[in-house]
């Protein structure tokens, strides 16, 4: 068994006014951790801006230790500690970096472990302004056989200039801490903490008297996952990992050490994969979750993800906390903030998540992923290597693919639905099936719905539908808007295939015909006209400003709910009404608004109270616009509500266009310039996508 131990010990004597501990290398900064020392045989020391004394007893009662074959090795001198010795210093770097998230301060220390053949490379790093620093311990084994070991990281707490304190665990999960007594009532814990938080999974924790912590490290056994949390004592704490170091290989174990007067703890990042097993070259997805156990929200500067070798990001696939694509530098994806993680509520940490798709490697194997985040105010523990995906070799399969399209003939600019079905006609399960559909040229994807799994892409749609057992089928349903012009030959072709495998491609032809302009059913303000035919399906002319329109003012016309007559209120002539989408659903009609401006308030009021919106001769060729009627399918309660809205002319529309067109709302408002505006909201249905009714 190999054990790595970081321990803390104490004499029970309060030591005050201690200068920064002597160390072979020390990271100095503006704080709040002003000095982080690392000796050449892996003692550690920390000074906090708020304390006169170091954070460990006698400054250096903090260590990295390892137990191998029943013997524990570590620094030769630990104040009131076990002082096991056995580390032979090999090298130690100078302090590098600038103290930023992109370039943290860093010290690398290398020691050999007695005659075991093991070599420890410890990297300690710190970002100025944070209350945590990070330690990564790599154990390398150059021998021909695997070695079992237990690694410890811990110390004898001297928190807030005091040798006594309480304990705490589990916030965040896996952490252990010394807690200073409350300044007003030393019989209860306060807020200030000295905490060890694992980044690498599989750790065990211990908080007890300093003597018990050192003794546990000397035993070579993993820490017992216990805490004297409610006892005010001369305490220490730490983490341990039991590991097997492979022959001619290495393992790396990481954690954060936090010193916070207010008890603020690091946030943590976790990562999961959509599918644990996929075919080589197929698509999968990841979800990154940032958890915040602190009471206040935290603003993130970035979220980053380091993709496995051979993996690539699927453009346009990010959802959740943001829909923006990340910047990509090699295998590193970076989503920039600000992104806010809410604080905990009722003991439940606040979370923020985002999901994205990847194309996996073409080389079989098991791949791990690492995600992280940064904040200017808080330390955030990365996920570590996690979210394993096993990429398997593509094998010969028996998939049969077919396509149906509805309708077979469609007016240009209207929608067609394609259903792609693939069936496994082979004798064995296909572990990961992807349906790939290539849209017709000029068509636009409106939606893609798989029977299971996830679809990505726009012109080439990839739907990963998961495993298919023998005789089982999967589908991908695509709603597609056809081109607004009739293609050459009058036919568009959709094609699809299923992977893995070959020779299972299917196609479907859809006939596309031009829209046929018919008699336009609509209205036009006084002085305007509407007609069909000519180069456009419909032409609408509005009157220009001037006499003959509402007391000599002018007429505006605007359209909402889609389409584009003009950029804002339309005044004068509007032509080429050929880009308006079809509105055939009575519950989702086209909504048009006509506004008249009045200088005479009495005329405005008379027109507002008129039974019809317009009198004969004022709307088109003598037409009137009736009020919208009830939907026959509505309940009596719905009908009463609609009638009430129409009675007092509230709201934008009642949700129906019956008959079509019909007046749905009428309002009168006093403008800041003293004029009155009378506005009519008209609903109507169109029989084709170009505004002319069929």
Three-state SS for 216?
Answer: helix
Dihedral, 606, 607, 612, 616 alpha carbons, nearest 10: 110
d(CA 245, CA 602): 92
pLDDT for the residue 269: 95
Residue 377: both structure tokens together: 């105010």
pLDDT for the residue 402: 92
* Angle 158-6-349 from CA coordinates, rounded to 5°: 75
d(CA 197, CA 257): 6
DSSP assigned state of 159? G
Closest CA to 198 of 268, 139, 259: 268
Whether the CA torsion 652, 656, 657, 658 is positive or negative: it is: negative
How many other CB atoms are found less than 10 A from the CB of residue 588?
Answer: 16
CB 465 within 8 A of CB 398: no
d(CA 630, CA 649): 15
How many other CB atoms are found less than 10 A from the CB of residue 542?
Answer: 25
d(CA 63, CA 44): 6
Q: Which residue has the tokens 């009830």?
A: 630
Residue 242: both structure tokens together: 């039991």
Three-state SS for 566?
Answer: coil
Q: What is the pLDDT of residues 594-619, one digit of tens each?
A: 666 777 777 777 767 654 443 333 33
Residue 338 CB-density burial (10 A; 0-12 exposed, 13-18 middle, 19+ buried): exposed
pLDDT for the residue 654: 56
Pairing of strands 277-279, 386-392: parallel
Identify the H or E element spanning 215: helix 210-219
Low-confidence ranges of the chain (pLDDT < 70): 1-23, 394-397, 502, 515-596, 607, 609-626, 630-633, 642-655, 659-661, 680, 682, 684-694
DSSP letters, 14-68, are ---SPPSPP-SEEEE-SSSEEEEEE-TTSBEEEEETT-SS-SBTTTT-EEEEEEE
d(CA 61, CA 81): 7
pLDDT for the residue 645: 61
Helix locations, 521-670, DSSP H: 601-609, 636-648
Q: What is the pLDDT of residues 60-113, one digit of tens each?
A: 999 999 999 999 999 999 999 999 999 999 999 999 999 998 899 999 999 999
CB 403 within 8 A of CB 480: no
Residue 512 CB-density burial (10 A; 0-12 exposed, 13-18 middle, 19+ buried): buried
pLDDT for the residue 661: 65
pLDDT for the residue 515: 62
Instruction: Please report how many Cα atoms fall inside a 13 Å half-sphere around the Cα of residue 143, on the Cβ side.
Output: 15
Query: In angstroms, what CA-CA distances link 487 with 257, 291, 347, 412, 508?
Result: 66, 52, 61, 9, 15
Exposure string over 59-88, b if 16+ CB within 10 A, otherwise e: bbbbbbbbbbeebbbbbeebbbbbbbebbe
Q: Which residues make Cβ contacts (< 8 Å) with residue 88, sequence separation at least 6?
A: 41, 111, 112, 113, 114
Q: Which residues make Cβ contacts (< 8 Å) with residue 53, sequence separation at least 6?
A: 15, 16, 17, 18, 59, 158, 161
- pTM beyond cutoff 0.75: no
| Backbone Cα Rg of the chain | 36
CB 206 within 8 A of CB 237: yes
d(CA 256, CA 5): 15
**DSSP bridge pairs for 450:** 476
């Amino acid at each position: 068994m190999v054990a790595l131990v970081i321990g803390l010990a104490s004499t029970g004597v309060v030591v005050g006014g201690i200068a920064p501990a002597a160390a072979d290398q020390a990271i100095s900064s503006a704080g709040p951790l002003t000095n982080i020392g690392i000796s050449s045989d892996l003692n550690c020391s920390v000074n906090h801006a708020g304390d006169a004394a170091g954070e460990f007893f006698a400054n250096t009662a903090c260590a990295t230790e390892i137990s191998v074959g029943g013997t524990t090795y570590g620094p030769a001198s630990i104040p009131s500690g076990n002082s096991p010795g056995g580390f032979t210093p090999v090298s130690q770097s100078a302090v590098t970096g600038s103290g930023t998230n992109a370039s943290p301060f860093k010290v690398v220390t290398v020691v050999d472990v007695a005659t075991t053949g093991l070599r420890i490379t410890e990297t300690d790093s710190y970002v100025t302004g944070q209350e945590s620093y990070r330690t990564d311990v790599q154990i390398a084994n150059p021998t021909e056989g695997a070695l079992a070991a237990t690694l410890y990281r811990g110390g004898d707490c001297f928190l807030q200039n005091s040798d006594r304190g309480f304990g705490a665990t589990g916030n965040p999960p896996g952490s252990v801490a010394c807690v200073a007594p409350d300044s007003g009532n030393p019989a209860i814990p306060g807020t200030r903490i000295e905490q060890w938080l694992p980044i690498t999974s599989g750790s065990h924790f211990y908080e007890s008297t300093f003597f018990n912590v050192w003794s546990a490290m000397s035993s070579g056994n993993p820490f017992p996952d216990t805490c004297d949390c409610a006892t005010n004592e001369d305490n220490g704490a730490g983490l341990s990992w039991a590991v097997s170091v492979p022959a001619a290989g290495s393992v790396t174990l990481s954690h954060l050490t936090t010193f916070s007067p207010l008890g603020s703890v690091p946030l943590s990042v976790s990562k999961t994969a959509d599918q644990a097993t996929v075919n080589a070259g197929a698509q999968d997805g990841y979800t990154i979750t940032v958890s915040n156990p602190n009471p206040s929200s935290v603003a993130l500067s970035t979220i980053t993800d380091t993709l496995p070798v051979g993996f690539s990001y699927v453009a346009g696939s990010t959802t959740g906390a943001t829909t923006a694509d990340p910047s990509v530098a090699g295998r590193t994806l970076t989503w920039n903030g600000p992104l806010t993680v809410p604080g905990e509520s009722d003991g439940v940490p606040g979370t923020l998540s985002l999901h994205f798709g990847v194309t996996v490697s073409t080389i079989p194997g098991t791949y791990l992923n690492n995600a992280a985040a940064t904040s200017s105010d808080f330390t955030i523990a990365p996920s570590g290597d996690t979210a394993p995906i096993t990429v398997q070799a593509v094998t010969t399969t028996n998939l049969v693919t077919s396509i149906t399209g509805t309708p077979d003939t469609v007016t240009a600019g209207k929608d067609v639905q394609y259903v792609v079905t693939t069936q496994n006609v082979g004798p064995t399960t296909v572990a990961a099936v992807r349906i790939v559909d290539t849209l017709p040229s000029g068509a636009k994807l409106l939606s893609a719905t798989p029977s299971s799994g996830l679809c990505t892409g726009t012109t080439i749609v990839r739907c990963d539908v998961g495993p298919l057992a023998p005789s089982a089928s999967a589908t991908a349903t695509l709603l597609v808007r056809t081109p607004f012009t009739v293609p050459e030959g009058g036919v568009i072709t959709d094609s699809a295939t299923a992977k893995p495998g070959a020779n299972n491609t299917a196609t479907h032809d859809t006939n596309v015909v031009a829209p046929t302009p018919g008699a336009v059913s609509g209205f036009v303000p006084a002085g305007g006209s509407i007609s069909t035919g000519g180069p456009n399906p419909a032409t609408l002319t509005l009157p220009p400003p001037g006499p003959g329109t509402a007391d000599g003012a002018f007429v505006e016309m605007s359209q909402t709910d889609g389409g584009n007559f003009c950029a804002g209120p339309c005044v004068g002539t509007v032509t080429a009404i050929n880009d308006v989408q079809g509105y055939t659903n009575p519950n989702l009609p086209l909504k048009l608004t006509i506004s008249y401006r009045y200088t005479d308030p009495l005329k405005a009021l008379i027109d507002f109270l008129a039974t019809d919106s317009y009198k004969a001769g004022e709307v088109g060729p003598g037409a009137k616009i009736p009020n919208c009627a009830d939907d026959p399918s509505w309940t009596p309660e719905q009908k009463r509500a609609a009638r009430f809205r129409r009675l007092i002319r509230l709201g934008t529309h009642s949700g129906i266009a019956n008959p079509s067109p019909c007046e749905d709302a009428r309002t009168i408002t006093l403008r800041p310039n003293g004029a009155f505006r009378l506005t009519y909201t008209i609903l109507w249905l169109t029989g084709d996508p170009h505004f002319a009714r069929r």
